[in-house]
Amino acid sequence: MHRPQASPRKFLILNPKGGSGKTTLATNLAAYYALRGLHPTLLDLDGQGSSTRWISKRTEDAPAIHGIRGFDLPANVTRTFAMRPPDDCERLVVDTAASVTTQELVPLTRDAYRIVIPVLPSDIDIHAATRCVADLLLVAKIPRVDNRIAVVANRVKRNTVVFRSLMRFLESLQIPVIGVLRDTQNYVRAFENGQGIHEVKGGTEAQDQRQWESILAWLEYGEVPAPASLWQDPERENGHSARW
C-alpha cells in the first residue's frame, strides 16, 4: 500500500556574502546525513554550481546524496516538480547563492526547519550577517522564539581579537551561535575529494568532527550550546593558537 511520505526536514544555509562557508556547511551536512542513512537531498540554488560539482566528485562507494540543480532550469520544466526530493529523502539541505534578494527570502524560508548563517570573523562579514539576520526577523518575519535561526562562526582562529568581537557581536544579536569551525585545509581537501569531514577517517579531521557536534544537536533537537563552551576549545588549533 502506498503511504504518503512526510516532507523532509529542510535546512537552509544562508548568507548574502560570498565565501562565508555556505557550500562548505551544506556539503558537509549532506555528507553527514548520508552517513546516517537519512537519504539527504542537496538542493543547489547557486548558479556557480559548487555543490553540484562536489556531488559529481563523490565516488561510487560513498553513501548517496541526491543532488538537485535548482538554477538554470529549462523553461519547459515545472519548478516545483524539478525541485522535489525523492520520496525516501529525510533531510533536504539547501545551498543558496550570495545574491538572494529580500523578496526571495519569504518563499525560501517558509518551510525551513532550521536556517543556518555561516559568518567569517571579519568586519565586512559581520556587517553582512547583521543585515541577513535583520531581514530574517523583519522581512521573513521569523520570530526569535521559534529557534529556527542560528549562526555558525566559520574559519575561526581562536584567541584573535576579531574572533572575540565576532562572538560578542553575535551575542548582542540574540541569535544563538551553535558552533565554531576552525580554519583548516581539511575542508578544502574534503571538498576536492567529494567528501564531507565526517567521511574522512584517521586524520586531524577528528577534531573538526567534534566541532560539528553542537551544530548537529541544534539542527536536530534545537539544543543551543552554552556560549562559554564555544569560546574555548581544549584542543589547540593548528598547534599554536596562543600566538594569535
Ligand X SMILES: Nc1ncnc2c1ncn2[C@@H]1O[C@H](COP(=O)(O)OP(=O)(O)O)[C@@H](O)[C@H]1O
Strand 177-182 versus strand 149-156 pairing type:
parallel
Does 211 engage in binding with ligand X (CB under 6 A)? Answer: no
Identify the burial level of 58 via C-beta atoms within 10 angstroms of its C-beta, where 0-12 means exposed, 13-18 middle and 19 or more buried: buried
Complex with ligand X: residue 39 or 117, whichever CB lies closer: 117
3-state secondary structure of 14: coil
Pattern 49-68, binding to ligand X, x per CB under 6 A?
Answer: -x------------------
The least distance separating ligand X from the CB of residue 89, rounded to whole angstroms, comes to 22
Does 161 engage in binding with ligand X (CB under 6 A)? Answer: no
3-state secondary structure of 92: strand
Does 86 engage in binding with ligand X (CB under 6 A)? Answer: no
187 Cβ partners below 8 Å, 6+ apart? 24, 28, 181, 197, 208
The least distance separating ligand X from the CB of residue 180, rounded to whole angstroms, comes to 10
Contact 59, 194 (CB under 8 A): yes
Does 124 engage in binding with ligand X (CB under 6 A)? Answer: no
Residue nearest to Mg ion (CB): 23
Residue where the block lists cell 585545509: 185
Residue where the block lists cell 563523490: 58
Residue 33 binds which entry of Mg ion, ligand X, none, with Cβ cut-offs from 5 to 8 Å by kind?
A: none
3-state secondary structure of 13: strand
Q: According to CB under 6 A, which residues from 162 to 181 bind ligand X?
A: 181
Does 154 engage in binding with ligand X (CB under 6 A)? Answer: yes
Helices (H), the chain: 22-35, 50-56, 79-82, 102-109, 123-138, 161-173, 185-192, 205-211, 213-221, 227-231
Contact 91, 34 (CB under 8 A): no
Does 41 engage in binding with ligand X (CB under 6 A)? Answer: no
Residue 19 binds which entry of ligand X, Mg ion, none, with Cβ cut-offs from 5 to 8 Å by kind?
A: ligand X
Does 195 engage in binding with ligand X (CB under 6 A)? Answer: no
Residue 52 binds which entry of Mg ion, ligand X, none, with Cβ cut-offs from 5 to 8 Å by kind?
A: none
The least distance separating ligand X from the CB of residue 81, rounded to whole angstroms, comes to 26
Residue where the block lists cell 565554531: 180
Q: Which of 19, 71, 73, 90 binds ligand X (CB under 6 A)?
A: 19
Contact 47, 72 (CB under 8 A): yes
Interacting residues with Mg ion (CB under 5 A): 22-23, 50
Residue 145 binds which entry of ligand X, Mg ion, none, with Cβ cut-offs from 5 to 8 Å by kind?
A: none
The least distance separating ligand X from the CB of residue 88, rounded to whole angstroms, comes to 27
Does 22 engage in binding with ligand X (CB under 6 A)? Answer: yes
- The residue ranges that bind ligand X (CB under 6 A) are 18-24, 50, 154-155, 181, 183-184, 187-188, 191
